[in-house]
Amino acid sequence: MRPSKFSADQFLSSSLLKRQEQNALRKLRVNDQLIDFCSNDYLGFARSEKLSKNTIKSSAKLKSNGSGGSRLLAGNSVYAENLEKYIAKFHNSEAGLIYNSGYDANVGLFSAIGQKGNIIIYDELIHASVHDGMKMSAATTYLFKHNDLKHLEERLRIAEALPDGRQGIIYVAVESVYSMDGDYALLKEISALCKKYKANLIVDEAHATGITKNDGKGRVQELKLEKEIFARVHTFGKGLGCHGAIILGSSLLRDYLINFSRAFIYTTALPVKSLVLISEAYHLLQKSGSDMKQLRKKITLFKSILSQDAQTFLIESQSPIQCIVISGNNNIKKMASSLQNKGFDVRPILSPTVPKGKERLRICIHVFNTEKELRSLCSAINDCFEKKMTEK
């Protein structure tokens, strides 16, 4: 028998030690006592008493707890199919298919469409779930520099120029609002390039759902690009305060995913009670226009109160995601720790989650954050930068 160089525990310990030496070790923590500037619960739906009461009322007659199996076995229901139709209509799409999470949706979509000979061109800041889906596929993949139209077109030309026998279907993957920068994709321009090169555009609307000016329907609808998009992914765990996701597209795409998306086929379906919560969140969303306006005002206020020194390090963003870039895991962890000690739940985003040198504070603004809280947070951030400038 061939002896193993390392035991499993030695490998685990060595890997964790290496990450600790890089000052990038992740740990779970609970900060219930801190003011929330961390979660993706932009509209406060995850803590909404109204949403909770509506869901309990609508679920009162339901007898099931779990779904009992995958959608292809015991887990399907009339309720699930009607909800998919309702959400698809809300987002002006032909059809939709619900997944258990945004991660599952992206893995399920990209692993299923990424057949041998096909090409996926993706923005370098695309979410990890898309990367994992592409790794599970047989497609050839190319990245393009973030929001760089010239570089995207270069990639599209390469894909178009492949020899006849190798040219396959071309897909382009972007996020409408980027999760770690908070900025917008140049959807109109990217869509035009995709049309020019006969590529299929896929848009992850995770961080746009619930926050856009059109009743939170997302950036694609805000720009009236629904007919130009091959697939959209809307998640329910951020602005909607629930859990799960839906892939929107044609009925043909829905049928294809039901047959070839392993992340859909081989997982237990969401229970009907979870679907009721999603349904009630969508109904509440349509009555939340004033909250969305308040959220935008608070984002503007936050940016305006920051000192000029702090603003220099702020990534330009109109979304609730506001990021201050400070190079180095140790530096950003110190700043986050200082803010947490003052009562603010602000988390550092470390490399390798973001590229080395682009570590940042990721600050999420919510409708429930008061003006006093926003001013106090900005004051604390400004103090950190004043101290930083003094030390120089």
Domain 62-285 is in which class?
Answer: alpha beta
d(CA 12, CA 193): 45
Pure H helices in 197-261: 219-222, 251-260
Helices (H), 226-344: 251-260, 262-265, 272-285, 289-305, 308-312, 329-341
Q: Looking at residue 320, what is its pLDDT?
A: 97
Q: What does DSSP assign to residue 271?
A: P
Q: Which has the closest alpha carbon to 176: 155, 207, 197?
A: 207
* Spatial separation of the C-alpha atoms in residues 325 and 310, rounded to whole Å: 9
pTM of the entire predicted model: 0.93
Give me the pLDDT at residue 24, please. 84
pLDDT at residue 165, as a whole number: 43
- What is the distance between the alpha carbons of residues 89 and 355, in angstroms, rounded to a whole number? 38
Whole-angstrom Cα distance, residue 166 to residue 130? 23
pLDDT averaged per 10 residues in sequence order, the chain, 392 residues: 75 93 86 91 97 94 87 95 98 98 98 95 97 97 97 94 70 97 97 97 97 95 97 98 98 98 97 96 95 96 93 94 94 93 94 91 97 96 79 56
* pLDDT recorded at residue 392: 54
Residue 254's nearest CA partner among 359, 113, 62 is 113
Distance CA 105, CA 272 (A): 18
Q: Quote the CA–CA distance of 75 and 225 in Å, as a whole number.
A: 33
Query: pLDDT value at position 48?
Result: 96
pLDDT of residue 3: 57
- Domain spanning 31-45+288-391: CATH superfamily: Aspartate Aminotransferase, domain 1 (3.90.1150.10)
The Cα–Cα gap between 8 and 14 comes to: 10
Token pair listed for 136: 């599970």
∠ CA(233), CA(235), CA(240), 5° rounding? 140
Domain limits, the chain: 31-45+288-391, 62-285
**Residue-level pLDDT at 190:** 98
